[in-house]
Amino acid sequence: MISGLRRFSRRFSTWQLPEVPLSDTLDDAVIRQLVPREARLVESKQEAEELLPELLAARVLGLDCEGVALGRWGRLCLCQVATPQQVFLFDGLRTGVVEVLRPVLTSTAVTKVMHDSREDSSAFLSQFDIELAGVFDSQVAHTMMLENQATKPFQISLNELLKSVLKLENEKETSLGQRMKKDPNIWFYRPMKEDLLTYAAQDVMYLPLLHRRLCDQLGDRTGNRVMSRSQEYVKYARMNLHLSSPKAAQRRHLRLQAMLATHTDAALYFKLNLGAHRQGVVSREEALKNFKDMHYGQIADCWVSAWNTGGNILFLERLEANAMPEPERKPGNFGWRRRRRPVGPKE
């Protein structure tokens, strides 16, 4: 199925991961302790069940997902989990495989190191009804480092963070990233190609080591401060569940939640849990003043004032206290849902 793989047994496919040079300042013993050198593809529920005790016994795991339009309305196709010994690639298109991981994904005793966990969290909740717990988000950790340095935060990519903290250079990641842009469905094809599987494994294999280094630099030995703030990213999965489709957000005076993601000198940009390519924007000078108290990852109650012709950008205003009555709600599968159309803000 995968050319050049060393067979572990008839059922299991394993292969050696390529070595990428790391910073000379890192202790070789620490690298050997925390960076796995082998990957394994898991394609059945039985295989996943056999691995569950090993994963539950781990203190820290790397976690990432790949998919098609990954998020609330997309499809999770691959779930990568890294232990210090091995990277396991769980095929999300095989029946029951990801569901087996529920005890690990929901455990607060096992730290899951992720980078920008928001869309992954949303995919787990909407597709598998799994709500993540015990998440250490390395993007959140980086934001906290910048805040400690009184430096303006920005949303760093995983590759940039690995280069900054571990001095890791990975040019192949860039070329494969370009391929994925050309073909967004690339993770849906089976069998998966070896270079894609290696790419997926490399996305998680350095996360346990990155966790150690970030904790050291933040003076947060346990990582608890980062994990506490990472809960804001996990809560993203429950935002705007009263909206049944992205198009449902195209309604003036609609009340919704928005998570501050990034900014420029002229505007603030928000994630909405309405698909990875739909975002909220605040650009009016007067409106921007109402968001001065917010930090990255914080959620604000807002209302929709307009949208662009494509519907992928919603223009937002901040909801002031008592400006809009709380609508009557009823419980749904993934949170509370509205029973009637909300009243718009008073003029």
Q: Are residues 233 and 251 part of one domain?
A: no
pTM of the entire structure? Answer: 0.87
Measured from the Cβ of residue 224, the count of other Cβ atoms closer than 10 Å reads: 12
Beta strands in the chain (DSSP E): 6-7, 13-16, 38-42, 60-68, 75-82, 86-91, 111-114, 135-137, 255-263, 268-271, 279-282, 299-307, 313-318, 329-332, 335-338
pLDDT score recorded for residue 229: 96
According to DSSP, the β-strands at 75-82 and 86-91 are antiparallel
Rounded to an integer, the average pLDDT of 181-197 is: 93
Q: Are residues 76 and 129 part of one domain?
A: yes
Cβ atoms of 262 and 254 within 8 Å: the answer is: no
Residue 20's pLDDT band (boundaries 50, 70, 90)? confident
Q: Are residues 158 and 299 part of one domain?
A: no
Residue 254 lies in a domain: yes
Cβ atoms of 103 and 56 within 8 Å: the answer is: yes
**% pLDDT > 70, the chain:** 86
Q: Are residues 216 and 135 part of one domain?
A: yes
CATH of the domain at 296: 2.40.50.140
Q: Are residues 67 and 32 part of one domain?
A: yes
Q: Are residues 122 and 18 part of one domain?
A: yes
Within the chain, what is the greatest distance between any pair of CA atoms? 69
**Considering 188, 218, 238, which residue would you say is the last residue of a domain?**
238
Is residue 26 over pLDDT 90?
no
Q: Are residues 333 and 292 part of one domain?
A: yes
pLDDT score recorded for residue 65: 98
pLDDT in tens, 251-303: 999 999 999 999 998 999 999 999 988 999 999 999 999 999 999 999 999 99
Tokens of 24: 């000379």
**Considering 238, 266, 286, which residue would you say is the last residue of a domain?**
238
Is residue 73 over pLDDT 60?
yes
Residue 345 lies in a domain: no
Q: Are residues 106 and 32 part of one domain?
A: yes
Q: Are residues 318 and 208 part of one domain?
A: no
Q: Are residues 189 and 44 part of one domain?
A: yes
Q: How many domains does the chain have?
A: 2
Residue 346 lies in a domain: no
Q: How far apart are CA 282 and CA 270, in angstroms?
A: 8
pLDDT score recorded for residue 297: 92
Residue 344 lies in a domain: no
Dihedral sign for Cα 48, 50, 51, 53, please: positive
Range of the domain at 14: 6-238
Q: How far apart are CA 89 and CA 183, in angstroms?
A: 21
Residue 343 lies in a domain: no
**Considering 186, 212, 238, which residue would you say is the last residue of a domain?**
238
Cβ atoms of 114 and 120 within 8 Å: the answer is: yes
Is residue 2 over pLDDT 70?
no
Q: Are residues 65 and 115 part of one domain?
A: yes
According to DSSP, the β-strands at 38-42 and 86-91 are parallel
CATH of the domain at 41: 3.30.420.10
Q: Are residues 299 and 204 part of one domain?
A: no
pLDDT in tens, 311-322: 999 999 999 865
Is residue 21 over pLDDT 90?
no
pLDDT score recorded for residue 276: 82
Residue 179's pLDDT band (boundaries 50, 70, 90)? confident
User: Phi and psi at residue 252, in whole multiples of 5°?
Assistant: -60, 140
Judged by phi (left if over 0) then psi (alpha if -120 to 50, else beta), residue 283 lies in alpha
